[in-house]
Amino acid sequence: MTRSRTSSRDAFTLIEVVATLVLTALAFLALLPFLDQVFLRSHEPRVQLQQAMNLQSAMENLVTSHTNSLENLRTRIGSAGSAVGGGVTVSENQYITFTGGLESGSPSSNNLLKVTLRNTLGEEVTRIFTERP
């Protein structure tokens, strides 16, 4: 009984496996600094969305609590720079009028109240309130 030896290689040698592992490890190490930044900044979209939702929620609270008196609403909101809550501040709270389709800062009557709120990211939402009939 003779055993025949084939010269074909059907498997990997130990050196080939080790070389593949070393090259894979080096490639991963080269990508690690980029992945580090991705993982560090992965929370930012969630924070931005939460800030936007806080801003929208603060304005909706003002709308739902609006009474018949604009002066009461203006007093309750507070002056520019006052905090509304949730990282939201009042950016503008004043009476306005429109002259020739443009906003005028010196109103002839107190029919329109412009309220602008701003969050910590600098996003703003504006609403114009009118007297309820």
Here the contacts of 91-98 (C-beta below 8 Å, separation 24 or greater) are: 91/116, 91/117, 91/118, 91/124, 92/116, 92/126, 95/70, 96/128
Nearest-angstrom CA–CA distance, 91 and 21: 58
pTM, rounded to two decimals? 0.66
Domain assignment present for 16:
no
Domain assignment present for 1:
no
Domain assignment present for 21:
no
Domain assignment present for 12:
no
- Give the total number of structural domains in the chain: 1
Strands (E), 32-111: 83-85, 88-99, 102-104
- Residue 132 CA from chain centroid, whole number: 33
User: Which residues, listed in sequence order, are joined to residue 130 by a DSSP beta bridge?
Assistant: 112
Domain assignment present for 104:
yes
Q: How many CB atoms lie within 10 A of CB 88?
A: 22
Domain assignment present for 82:
yes
Domain assignment present for 3:
no
Q: Which pLDDT belongs to residue 42?
A: 79
Q: Which pLDDT belongs to residue 1?
A: 55
What is the extent of the structural domain holding 123?
A: 48-130
Q: Which pLDDT belongs to residue 46?
A: 87
Per-residue pLDDT tens, the chain, 133 aa: give them.
Answer: 555 555 556 788 999 999 999 999 999 888 888 877 777 777 788 888 999 999 999 999 888 887 778 888 888 888 888 888 888 999 999 888 888 888 877 777 778 889 999 999 899 999 998 876 5
Domain assignment present for 94:
yes
